């Protein structure tokens, strides 16, 4: 009796939360429209992202002459390495940062800024720390310092090499991906049947649909992860995410470079080595870098991947930061007072709030750098599988597209069939999503405009 009662209560509960056929039809049409129109953007993002995560080893081979050296012996002071880089590049470009050699057999990078470079780009002179021979002169990009080959792939993934306008494509893909995934999960849930596998084996169309559904279901967690982490880099949604993080106190800690009154950005009697004064005086002031590096090592900056940035203006401190984003993550940052070489500010990763750590790890995992090769292979597999399931979706549409002259099945028609409460809920959800994710709102407005036009054309009386 108890078992029967429990079973009855579960059935009644499932019925209570069951979706009406009208709601199912509306979700199905919305999933179809989003997949049809946003699918190309998702497809391009999946392919370019896969290429990006698979190419670190290719980059290492392509630029091995710039990255590695066969000389052995003790590294010469950073002052001498900077002098060699300056002699190569001339007095025009401004010194931006120095990345000492990460280890034996690897070159140091002396990085400069100059007009014409893009955001986050710098010109790196690769110097053999033992022989002081200049081994390369390349444009590098971002915190990870990727080289031209992967920079091109990065821009291709980010903006299709179209600048700020092209960033809309990747934001559109990330903004809709989670909605497409959740809609697909819902459709799989209410369409699943024990005999579905048997029917699918007998019917090619059902087999394609089943593969599309199961592959999407298996990938769902990974695709939601890609959507969320991708949005953090986006322009419009990213600004809203940053504002929300600031409101909730989820901001990643950073150091303060501002010094007290009377501070000078010079190192004692060694002169100023900032952006605007790193030319002729460099021979006399380069030793400051060695002293700053020694101070940072004593303060616990122990990663081999470290970057030193001289002050940009009077009254500012030196910035020293780690940039090793693999596991364990080493991204500690300190600020050093050039007057007495004391640490005046620091932000250690181990003291970051949990949310800030999760954001850091999420972005690094998205880029395929957090766990090295396993991370690369996992992200590549996710990208390839997303490409396949998107193509399956288009194959389903092509096989089941309505014949010419048939009345189209539209989202508007499905929405009008909803009860008033469901209509209002769908409308409110659209307004909220459009506010939080502007490109979702804009693209949804375009979808609706097209859909209304198709609906009116299909429902208007035909002339006799």
pLDDT digits (tens, 9 = 90+) for 386-396: 999 999 999 98
How many other CB atoms are found less than 10 A from the CB of residue 182? 16
Secondary structure class of 132 (helix, strand, coil): coil
Is 264 in the same domain as 232? no
User: What angle (nearest 5°) sits at the alpha carbon of residue 372, between those of residues 172 and 111?
Assistant: 80
pLDDT digits (tens, 9 = 90+) for 425-450: 999 999 999 999 999 999 988 888 88
Please check whether residue 137 lies inside any domain of the structure.
Answer: yes
What is the C-alpha to C-alpha distance for residues 234 and 167, in angstroms, rounded to an integer? 7
Please check whether residue 260 lies inside any domain of the structure.
Answer: yes
Please check whether residue 209 lies inside any domain of the structure.
Answer: yes
Is 346 in the same domain as 220? no
pLDDT digits (tens, 9 = 90+) for 62-90: 999 999 999 999 999 999 999 999 999 99
- Give DSSP secondary structure letters for 45-114: HHHHHHHHHT-HHHHHHHTHHHHB----SPPPPHHHHHHHHHHHH-SSSEEEEEE--SSTTB-EEEEEE-
Q: 389 φ, ψ to 5°?
A: -70, -30
The residue with greater pLDDT, 124 or 287, is 124
Last residue of a domain, one of 300, 321, 351: 351
Q: Which domain holds residue 220?
A: 18-38+161-252+373-464
User: What angle (nearest 5°) sits at the alpha carbon of residue 321, between those of residues 319 and 324?
Assistant: 165
Nearest CA to 71 among 35, 107, 26?
107
Is 264 in the same domain as 248? no
Please check whether residue 364 lies inside any domain of the structure.
Answer: no
Is 283 in the same domain as 336? yes
Last residue of a domain, one of 316, 351, 386: 351
Please check whether residue 59 lies inside any domain of the structure.
Answer: no
Sign of CA dihedral 337, 340, 341, 343: negative
Give the pLDDT score at 11.
Answer: 45
Highest mean pLDDT among 196-205, 274-283, 350-359: 350-359
Are 127 and 133 in contact by the 8 Å Cβ rule? The answer is yes
Beta strands 108-113 and 318-322, pairing class = unpaired
Last residue of a domain, one of 281, 316, 351: 351
Is 277 in the same domain as 133? yes
Is 79 in the same domain as 29? no
Is 416 in the same domain as 448? yes
Is 390 in the same domain as 464? yes
Please check whether residue 451 lies inside any domain of the structure.
Answer: yes
Is 199 in the same domain as 221? yes
Please check whether residue 410 lies inside any domain of the structure.
Answer: yes
**How many domains are there within the chain?**
2
pLDDT digits (tens, 9 = 90+) for 146-200: 999 999 999 999 999 999 899 999 999 999 999 999 999 998 888 776 555 555 5
Give the pLDDT score at 413.
Answer: 81
Is 378 in the same domain as 464? yes
What is the C-alpha to C-alpha distance for residues 310 and 408, in angstroms, rounded to an integer? 64
Is 125 in the same domain as 167? no
In this predicted structure, the answer to whether residue 125 has a pLDDT above a threshold of 70 is yes
Please check whether residue 357 lies inside any domain of the structure.
Answer: no
Nearest CA to 110 among 56, 71, 66, 153?
66
Is 464 in the same domain as 377? yes
Give the pLDDT score at 462.
Answer: 62
pLDDT classification of 12: cutoffs 50, 70, 90: very low
């Amino acid at each position: 009796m108890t078992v029967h009662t429990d079973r009855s209560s579960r059935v009644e509960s499932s019925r209570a939360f069951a979706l009406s056929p009208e709601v199912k039809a509306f979700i199905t049409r919305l999933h179809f429209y989003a997949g049809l129109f946003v699918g190309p953007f998702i497809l391009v993002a999946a392919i370019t992202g896969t290429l990006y995560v698979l190419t670190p080893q290719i980059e290492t081979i392509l630029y091995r002459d710039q990255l590695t050296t066969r000389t052995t012996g003790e590294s010469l002071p950073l002052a001498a390495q900077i002098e060699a880089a300056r002699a190569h590049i001339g007095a025009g470009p401004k010194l931006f940062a120095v990345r000492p050699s990460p280890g034996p057999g690897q070159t140091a990078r002396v990085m400069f800024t100059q007009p014409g470079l893009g955001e986050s780009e710098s010109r790196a002179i690769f110097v053999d720390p033992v022989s002081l021979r200049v081994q390369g002169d390349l444009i590098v990009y971002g915190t990870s310092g990727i080289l031209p080959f992967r920079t091109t792939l990065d821009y291709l993934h980010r903006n299709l090499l179209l600048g700020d306008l092209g960033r809309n494509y990747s934001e559109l893909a990330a903004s809709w991906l989670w909605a497409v995934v959740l809609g697909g999960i819902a459709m799989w849930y209410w369409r699943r049947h024990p005999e579905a596998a048997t029917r699918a084996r007998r019917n090619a169309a059902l087999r394609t649909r089943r593969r599309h559904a199961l592959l999407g279901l298996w990938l769902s967690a990974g695709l939601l992860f890609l959507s969320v982490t991708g949005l953090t880099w986006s322009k419009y949604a990213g600004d809203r995410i940053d504002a929300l993080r600031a409101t909730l106190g989820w901001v990643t800690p950073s150091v303060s470079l501002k010094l007290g009154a009377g501070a000078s950005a010079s190192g004692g009697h060694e002169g100023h080595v900032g952006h605007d004064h790193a030319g002729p005086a460099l021979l006399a002031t380069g030793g400051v870098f060695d002293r700053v590096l020694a101070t940072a090592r004593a303060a616990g900056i122990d990663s081999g991947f470290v970057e030193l940035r001289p002050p940009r203006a009077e009254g500012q401190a030196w910035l020293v930061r780690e940039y090793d984003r693999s596991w364990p993550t080493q991204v500690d940052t300190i600020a050093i007072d050039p007057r007495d070489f004391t640490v005046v500010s620091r932000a250690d990763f181990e003291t970051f709030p949990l949310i800030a750590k999760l954001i850091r790890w999420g972005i690094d995992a998205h880029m395929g750098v957090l766990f090295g090769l396993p991370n690369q292979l996992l992200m590549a597999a996710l990208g390839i599988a997303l490409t396949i399931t998107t193509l399956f979706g288009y194959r389903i549409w092509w096989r089941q597209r309505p014949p010419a002259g048939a009345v189209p099945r539209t989202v508007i028609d499905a929405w009008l069939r909803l009860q008033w409460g469901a209509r209002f809920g769908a409308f409110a959800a659209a307004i909220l999503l459009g506010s939080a994710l502007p490109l979702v709102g804009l693209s949804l407005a375009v979808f609706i405009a097209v859909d209304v036009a198709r609906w009116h054309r299909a429902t208007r009386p035909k002339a006799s």
